[in-house]
Structure 1
């Protein structure tokens, strides 16, 4: 997808459910290290990167994300060789930022972002997925800061995100897509729409993660139909509604919630992915839709059969 692709107007009517024979011709399906239980550059509970590449290719995917920087080789020549011989192409890189903390964190943020953006560009990708800082630790659940931003922090978040998007575009030719995420300050419908309304649409787009948005109470189809011109990228994910209810009732942090299985294998959870994909197709632009099933930590033999079944399910949807 190119950043200059025209967007159609958001649809006001409900999106039709695609038949198995329909073709979601504008949707490019891929997967990511996340679906293999990979959250960190180096962790003994994660599968080796070679196994991830072997298995994601064997599952029938052609597109992948870089995942946490340093998990896959950071030498572009090495990574190009390893992905090419498996028939894989990189769709995006991912960065974590704390831009609500203001200009004081710009230099450290840019040092982190520039390395990842350079590798993303070298791999021929056009998107950089930006995930806001967690207000509580994703591994331990420790509360790190207030879950609600002050007005000043909101201004910092929007202004610094626009700055980042401008610099990434000018220096690396990449499009920033901001990822609403559980246990961050861009999570619920209220906070997502507030963020979108306060940022420049020519600079900042959204990576809509269907699982995280449902986790935080949002409706992905409604968001696509209302803010279609801002949807620049998709992550396909589902949540188990019963586990989610327990997580919400117990105020369980995101990391432990994942360990409980709150993110589940499609099509057993919510939201239904068929109407999400249909709504995205109706935008009339090319979109990546990258499967992410948070499973950290998980047994090493668990991801492959899930990935194969998920790819088959998405094919049955026309993708």
Structure 2
């Protein structure tokens, strides 16, 4: 008799699953359309997650003692902080950038995390869609971007013991496969790793599994997200900015969208390094009762994948 196929999912022993304020519709430090931070912490813990990100600086308490107490009593730990940078503008923005980064890096370090997610600045406004600057960089701007990102990686590591992971993002200059590869090829792997967001990369036409298999040594962190292919086709055809596209539901609940997360997680496991995989379902703005059941279903789905 031939053996029956096992229904047990593969073990993803090197993958640590978490979620983020983003999955509760939180994009800003303070916004009347967002749930209070206490509710986010209560509900992310109730959904079965152990790890969280800080989200936009100022949303969660910025006092390390307060935040440590609030997370610990809910059984939560912090995996990373997040910063926004516009380093392609060159040395003139360094001091302002560092002032922004330093506070967030200090809180991230105090919470015992080891990663700082770095998101490039948007070339069009994520709320209004207004075009702020050209959507492509000059050769000089690419040199500023790569060189100053390396400097940021060095300074953050030396001063705070954190590793930066740069997040390719829709409506930024690090978005498509072409631009992501150009950025990786132009930066030192010892100083700069990547936060691969599966949804943003698919939104911009990239293949996450291919990127992991090709640039595995540069993948330092994952954001798990899916896009609705039908809505994506519409927003691409219409040239819709990212913020309004999210409001239209372009980022959807897994496993309804693309890319399939099972092969992404399997490829990440094959790297044989410990990786955070943080769920981020962009939902700003959303009704306050919507995130919790989605988060619970998503956590159950990821368990069915072995995570």
Does 2:90 correspond to 1:102?
A: yes
Question: Aligned match of 1:128 in 112, 116, 127?
Answer: 116
Equivalent runs, 1:230-309 vs 2, <5 Å: 230-309=218-297
Distance 1:19 1:280, change over 3 A: farther
For the 8 Å contact 1:92–1:127, the answer to whether it is kept is yes
How far 1:40 sits from its partner (Å)?
0.1
Question: Aligned match of 1:144 in 121, 124, 132?
Answer: 132
Distance 1:294 1:20, change over 3 A: farther
Distance 1:24 1:192, change over 3 A: same
| In structure 2, distance between residues paired with 1:262 and 1:44 | 23
Superposed CA deviations along residues 18-46 of structure 1, whole A, max 9, x for unmatched, are 96432100000000000000000000000
| In structure 1, distance between residues paired with 2:216 and 2:136 | 27
Return the structure number with greater relative CO, CA threshold 8 A, min gap 6.
1
Superposition TM-score, scaled by structure 1 size: 0.94
| In structure 2, distance between residues paired with 1:140 and 1:292 | 22
| In structure 2, distance between residues paired with 1:101 and 1:20 | 50
| In structure 2, distance between residues paired with 1:161 and 1:141 | 26
For the 8 Å contact 1:133–1:184, the answer to whether it is kept is yes
Does 2:48 correspond to 1:60?
A: yes
For the 8 Å contact 1:263–1:295, the answer to whether it is kept is yes
Question: Aligned match of 1:92 in 75, 80, 86?
Answer: 80
| In structure 2, distance between residues paired with 1:305 and 1:249 | 32
Question: Aligned match of 1:194 in 182, 205, 208?
Answer: 182
Unaligned regions of 5+ residues in structure 2, if any? 1-5
| In structure 1, distance between residues paired with 2:245 and 2:260 | 20
Question: Aligned match of 1:22 in 6, 10, 16?
Answer: 10
| In structure 1, distance between residues paired with 2:176 and 2:11 | 31
Q: Which residue of 2 aligns with 1:83?
A: 71
Does 2:300 correspond to 1:312?
A: yes
Q: Which residue of 2 aligns with 1:49?
A: 37
| In structure 2, distance between residues paired with 1:169 and 1:232 | 14
SS of match in other structure, 1:207: strand
For the 8 Å contact 1:19–1:317, the answer to whether it is kept is no
Q: Which residue of 2 aligns with 1:12?
A: none
Question: Aligned match of 1:183 in 147, 171, 186?
Answer: 171
Where has structure 1 moved over 4 Å in runs of 4 or more?
none
Superposition TM-score, scaled by structure 2 size: 0.98
Superposed CA deviations along residues 12-70 of structure 1, whole A, max 9, x for unmatched, are xxxxxx96432100000000000000000000000000000000000000000000000
Q: Which residue of 1 aligns with 2:207?
A: 219
